[in-house]
Amino acid sequence: MKQRINLMMGLWLLLAGVSCTKDLDQQPLNSNTADIQYSTPAGYKQVLAKAYGSYSLVSSSGVGVSDVNVPGISDAGTTDFVRSWFNLQELTTDEAICAWDDAYLQSFHNFNWTPSNIYINASYARSLFQITVCNEFIRQSTDEKLAARNITSHDADDIRFYRAEARFLRAFQYWVLMDLFG
């Protein structure tokens, strides 16, 4: 009986370690990988522009598309950082009054913040997206990575300055999250 159990366990482990459909052999869906994007100083500027642009733009892909995927949101403009931050900061006070019932806005006047409110979800998701963009920029702009990509002298100094900017943008987003969500 013990030998049979050991045999079954061995067969199970053997089968569990095999991938019949090559599911583990995945390629990136986007051909623009980090090695390509960060190969030139212009690539670093593009990513930093995305970090700054995320404050007022909803996407770098075009109209009606959002960089963040929040369930329940059909209007990509809802995920704009400035719009959602304004809604969460000002509509809950006497500084702004919203006369229309635009998808959950009236609940802010009643101080009713619920997890089902799409503006709350959009603001949280946008802040996390911007933190992710900044984190990736910071990871890719270390002195070791710059040296490995043969980016030196003035360009490397500029990218170090950009790294400091990305760190500030990330810190600001963390502050926004702490201010809004505790």
pTM of the model: 0.77
Distance CA 82, CA 126 (A): 10
With a cut of 80, say whether residue 77 has pLDDT above it: no
Q: Which residue has the higher pLDDT, 49 or 19?
A: 49
Domains of the chain by residue range: 32-181
Two structure tokens written together for 12:
């199970």
- Of 111, 91, 93, the closest CA to residue 102 belongs to 91
Options 2.40.50.140, 1.25.40.390, 3.40.1190.20, 3.40.50.2300; CATH for 32-181 is 1.25.40.390
Average pLDDT, the chain: 83
Is residue 58 within 8 Å of 80, Cβ to Cβ? yes
CA-CA-CA-CA torsion sign (160, 176, 124, 53): negative
In one-letter notation, the amino acid at residue 100 is W
User: Distance from CA of residue 36 to its chain's centroid?
Assistant: 20
